[in-house]
Amino acid sequence: MSSQDVALVRRQAARARALALTTVSTAGTGHIGADLSAMDILCSLYFSVLRGGPEDPDRDRFILSKAHASAAMYSVLALKGILPEAELSTFGGADSRLSTVVSTRVPGIEFNTGSLGHGLSLGAGAALAARVQGSGRRTFVLTGDGELQEGSNWEAAMLAASRKLSSLVVVVDRNLAQKGASTEDINALEPLEDKWRSFGWGVRTVDGHDVEALLDVFHGAPLEESRPTCVIASTVKGKGVSFMERNLEWHSRRLTPDLLDQALRELEHGIDA
């Protein structure tokens, strides 16, 4: 990883945040809190880590299990040149390709996710396929934290460790929030590091908005030899917009033009968090 990469990722993350905010505001629908929570992780992966474009059969695989962060995902794909930026304005609209949870209608999307808890099994399968084909490609799965309440995740976690899938990395967007409340109040995940470790994974917790830390762990994976890697990324739902940060209402609230302006101004000047 180079310092140029860090600067590039930061720059692109700022641009992608603005695109995502504009996208959900124009559409009057979406999950902006989840988008902003995941944005630095997505940009770190797309602008420094993942190898190979959508047409390359040996590309690294990325699976957005928390598929409702779709405006973030499409914004990143637009900045990568995989999706025309102008198309973002069709998000959720009649006959658009841009479903409001990601789908394979959109170039660059590998799977139809959106029903939570599917991504890690898909990722384990993708990693097994890479092994069968003798490829060194890697597989990254981004999951929500509330999403980890789905039992299928733990079935896949067990399998990935027992098959020593060291090319598999799961990133947990640990914003502590799910839809209605904190994960710890609904169905507690802690001690989360211990859970993954006891399932046989190498685990590290990082600041999910610290690009340097993210690149460091992604480029360095696997953390432990012969083990899959779990990165618990501590994040803030709504990161970058003061009135959204840590406010559960912004899971899926409508962003009016006035509030959009305010949000974009904050992004430009940076906020005192």
Partner 1 sequence: MASTPDCATAFSAALLELARTDERICIVNNDSAETHSALGFQSELPDRFVDVGIAEQNLVGVAIGMANAGLRPFVYSASCFMASRALEQIKNAAYTNANVVFCGFVSGLAYGALGGTHHAVEDLAWMRAIPRMTVLAPATPVDTVAALREALTHDGPVYIRIVSKLDTPELFPADHGFAYGGSEQLREGEDVTLVGTGLLTSRLVEAADLLAADGVRAGVLHLGSVQPIDAEAIGRAAARTGRLVVAEDHVLNGGLGGAVAETVVRTHPVPVLQIGVPNEYAPIGPAEFLYEHFGLTPQGIAKRVREWLA
Ligand X SMILES: Cc1ncc(C[n+]2csc(CCOP(=O)(O)OP(=O)(O)O)c2C)c(N)n1
Question: Could you list the residues that contact partner 1 (CB under 8 A)?
Answer: 29, 67, 91-101, 103, 105, 112-117, 146-147, 149-151, 178-181, 183, 186-187
Residue whose CB is less far from ligand X, 135 or 182: 182
The residue type at 221: A
Strands 202-207 and 139-144: unpaired
Residue 192 φ then ψ, to 5°: -75, -40
Q: Which does 173 bind (CB under 5 to 8 A by kind): ligand X, partner 1, none?
A: ligand X
Shortest Cβ 262–ligand X spacing (Å): 22
Residue whose CB is less far from ligand X, 108 or 117: 117
Q: Is 161 exposed, middle or buried (0-12, 13-18, 19+ CB in 10 A)?
A: buried
| Selection from 35, 15, 3 nearest residue 212 by Cα | 3
- d(CA 195, CA 193) in angstroms, rounded, equals 5
Q: Which does 177 bind (CB under 5 to 8 A by kind): partner 1, ligand X, none?
A: ligand X
Residue whose CB is less far from partner 1, 24 or 165: 24
Q: 10 Å Cβ neighbour count for 139?
A: 25
Are the C-beta atoms of residues 131 and 199 closer than 8 Å to each other? Answer: no
Shortest Cβ 268–ligand X spacing (Å): 25
Identify the H or E element spanning 139. Answer: strand 139-144
Residue whose CB is less far from partner 1, 183 or 235: 183
Are the C-beta atoms of residues 228 and 222 closer than 8 Å to each other? Answer: yes
Residue whose CB is less far from ligand X, 135 or 152: 152
Q: Which does 35 bind (CB under 5 to 8 A by kind): partner 1, ligand X, none?
A: none
Shortest Cβ 94–partner 1 spacing (Å): 4
Of all residues in this chain, which one has the CB nearest to ligand X in the complex? 144
Q: Which does 54 bind (CB under 5 to 8 A by kind): ligand X, partner 1, none?
A: none
Shortest Cβ 121–ligand X spacing (Å): 13
Shortest Cβ 119–ligand X spacing (Å): 11
Q: Which does 139 bind (CB under 5 to 8 A by kind): ligand X, partner 1, none?
A: none
Shortest Cβ 245–partner 1 spacing (Å): 20
The residue type at 246: R
- d(CA 16, CA 47) in angstroms, rounded, equals 12
| Site of interaction with ligand X (CB under 6 A) | 34, 37, 66, 68, 114-117, 144-147, 173, 175, 177-179, 237, 251
Residue whose CB is less far from partner 1, 12 or 153: 153
CA angle 103, 104, 109 (to 5 degrees): 90
What secondary structure letter does DSSP report for 62? E
Are the C-beta atoms of residues 201 and 230 closer than 8 Å to each other? Answer: yes
Residue 129 φ then ψ, to 5°: -65, -40
Q: Which does 113 bind (CB under 5 to 8 A by kind): ligand X, partner 1, none?
A: partner 1
Residue whose CB is less far from partner 1, 112 or 135: 112
